[in-house]
């Protein structure tokens, strides 16, 4: 079977002379017919990719220079459309690797070709089931399916661009979008990131997550969404983070606890975090400011038509070992009647998607009051307090199962204040 151009090139690069028995038709005197690389070298010679030396030898046992390799790549590139698609992709990668040498040889390599092998795709297929059970009210059940793509592309040595695209469908209603109104694919995030020594810059639409959610299993008690703007972080053990931009508060608050927000305008957002994380200890503080017309629609405001939230927060944790962590977080928002939010969590390990059979579990007391503007609500809902239990397990490599259960009551006392929530999820990651 005839080798493809690239496979022949790869074979020829590792050839070494192995015999002294020659045939008259051989292209090179030091590559006999019975040599394992004969077919590859012969094809490359016929295609004009390799020429050997003036004395009729190939000298496969000699190390070649990067310029010599670049010349071979240039000749392979010259074949243009006469190579299979699979070969074209591999040639583009070789062109990216030897771009500088090719440019010096007068072979133009475009920016796209130079970075063709620097684009990475990750993603997952995710099914989620939830059941919200409020005392003396009908259960609210939902089962949603999300297909997610997360591309990342390298721009240069310091900068890369990232995105997250979600296509959602409500399986219960057989309609696209988790709210049964959103058809098609949604660009959830898109940002450019520059990484330097102990210094990172982000610009675009990116994750908005208060820092406690990064290491406390239940998630964030303040922020867990996206915002459009900029972020700067610097430091190593002691890290500072500055954020500024806008965030849309649509569907932020649970409808059972608050009336829906007006989503026509986004709220302005600024955030500052200081976080220390070294060895067994982690602790920090944060300030988050939200201002805009949508906040006037929030139920439970201390002052009517107040459009500004100033939220202060602290968090801390202790790692007993690499698997066991005790942590807590507290946040305060003076603009609402229910001012406080907090949680205390004890968590063990956690499922590793790459490690079949790995698992984790946690137990947490959660109190999602007025400071929980954009909190994680997989288990506990806004305006409730109680115990949340969770576990996850890697069933197969890159197949992770998760389950959570919350039992509590509403923060504001009422006759029917008992709340329960079931949460289940399976993720197929790629």
* CA-CA-CA-CA torsion sign (370, 330, 133, 410): negative
Q: According to the model, what pLDDT value does residue 43 have?
A: 63
Work out the average pLDDT over 397-411. Answer: 96
* From 117-121, 187-191, 195-199, the region with the lowest mean pLDDT: 117-121
Closest CA to 164 of 213, 219, 225, 210: 225
Asked whether the predicted pLDDT for residue 413 surpasses 60, the reply is yes
CA–CA distance, 104 with 325 (Å, rounded to integer): 55
Q: Which residue has the tokens 């009051």?
A: 369
Counting DSSP H helices and E strands in the chain, the numbers are: 6, 17
pLDDT in tens, 265-308: 689 999 999 999 999 999 999 999 999 877 877 767 777 778 89
CA–CA distance, 352 with 402 (Å, rounded to integer): 12
- pLDDT category of residue 389 using cuts at 50, 70 and 90: very high
* From 32-41, 114-123, 289-298, the region with the lowest mean pLDDT: 32-41
User: Residue 43 burial by CB count (10 A; 0-12/13-18/19+): exposed, middle or buried?
Assistant: buried
The CATH number assigned to the domain with range 120-429 reads 2.40.160.10
Average pLDDT, the chain: 82
CA–CA distance, 315 with 331 (Å, rounded to integer): 9
* Those residues with Cβ within 8 angstroms of residue 187's Cβ, 6 or more apart along the chain or in another chain: 163, 164, 165, 205
Asked whether the predicted pLDDT for residue 247 surpasses 90, the reply is yes
Please give the structure tokens belonging to residue 146.
């999300």
pLDDT in tens, 326-357: 999 999 999 888 899 999 999 999 999 989 99
End-to-end CA distance of the chain: 34
Residue 407, H or E segment: strand 399-410
Q: According to the model, what pLDDT value does residue 414 have?
A: 75
DSSP-derived letter for residue 173 is T
Residue 86, helix vs strand vs coil? helix
CA–CA distance, 330 with 49 (Å, rounded to integer): 67
Asked whether the predicted pLDDT for residue 199 surpasses 50, the reply is yes
The DSSP bridge partners found for residue 289 are: 270, 310
CA–CA distance, 403 with 393 (Å, rounded to integer): 9
Domain boundaries defined on the chain? 5-116, 120-429
CA–CA distance, 144 with 378 (Å, rounded to integer): 13
Residue 188, helix vs strand vs coil? strand
Q: According to the model, what pLDDT value does residue 17 have?
A: 41
Residue 2, helix vs strand vs coil? coil
Percent of the chain with pLDDT over 70: 71
Residue 193, helix vs strand vs coil? strand
CA–CA distance, 92 with 67 (Å, rounded to integer): 17
Work out the average pLDDT over 62-90. Answer: 66
pLDDT in tens, 222-234: 999 999 999 999 9
Q: According to the model, what pLDDT value does residue 71 have?
A: 72
Please give the structure tokens belonging to residue 99.
């771009």
């Amino acid at each position: 079977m005839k080798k493809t151009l690239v496979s022949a090139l790869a074979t020829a690069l590792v050839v070494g002379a192995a015999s002294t028995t020659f045939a008259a038709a051989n292209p090179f005197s030091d590559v006999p017919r019975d040599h394992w690389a004969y077919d590859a070298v012969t094809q490359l010679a016929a295609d004009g990719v390799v020429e050997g030396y003036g004395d009729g030898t190939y000298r496969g046992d000699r190390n070649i220079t990067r310029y010599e390799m670049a010349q071979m790549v240039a000749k392979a590139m010259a074949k243009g459309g006469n190579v299979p698609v699979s070969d074209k992709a591999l040639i583009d990668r070789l062109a990216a690797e030897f771009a500088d040498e090719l440019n010096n040889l007068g072979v133009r390599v475009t920016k796209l070709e130079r970075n063709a092998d620097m684009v990475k795709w990750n993603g997952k297929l995710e099914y989620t089931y939830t059941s919200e059970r409020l005392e003396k009210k009908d259960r609210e059940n939902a089962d949603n399916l999300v297909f997610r793509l997360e591309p990342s592309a390298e721009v240069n040595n310091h900068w890369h661009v990232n995105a997250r695209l979600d296509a959602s469908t409500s399986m219960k209603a057989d309609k696209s979008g988790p709210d049964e109104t959103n058809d098609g694919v949604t660009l959830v995030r898109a940002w450019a990131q520059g990484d330097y020594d102990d210094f990172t810059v982000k610009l675009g639409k990116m994750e908005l997550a208060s820092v406690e959610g990064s290491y406390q299993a239940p998630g964030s008690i303040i922020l867990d969404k996206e915002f459009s703007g900029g972020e700067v972080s610097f430091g190593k053990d002691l890290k500072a983070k500055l954020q500024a931009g806008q965030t849309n508060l649509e569907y932020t608050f649970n409808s059972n606890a608050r009336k829906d927000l007006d989503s026509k305008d986004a709220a302005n957002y600024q955030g500052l975090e200081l976080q220390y994380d070294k060895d067994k200890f982690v602790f920090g503080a944060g300030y988050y400011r939200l201002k805009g017309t949508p906040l006037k629609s929030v139920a439970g405001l201390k002052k009517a038509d107040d459009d500004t939230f100033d939220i202060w927060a602290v968090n801390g944790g202790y790692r007993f070992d690499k698997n066991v962590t005790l942590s807590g977080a507290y946040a305060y928002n003076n603009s609402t009647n229910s001012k406080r939010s907090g949680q205390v969590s004890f968590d063990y390990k956690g499922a590793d998607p790459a490690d079949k059979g790995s698992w984790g579990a946690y137990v947490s007391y959660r109190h999602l009051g007025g400071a929980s503007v954009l909190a994680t609500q997989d288990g506990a809902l806004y305006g409730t307090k109680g115990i949340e239990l969770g576990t996850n397990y890697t069933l197969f490599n890159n197949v992770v199962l998760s389950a959570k259960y919350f039992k509590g009551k509403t923060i504001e006392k009422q006759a029917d204040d008992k709340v329960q929530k079931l949460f289940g999820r399976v993720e197929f990651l790629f």
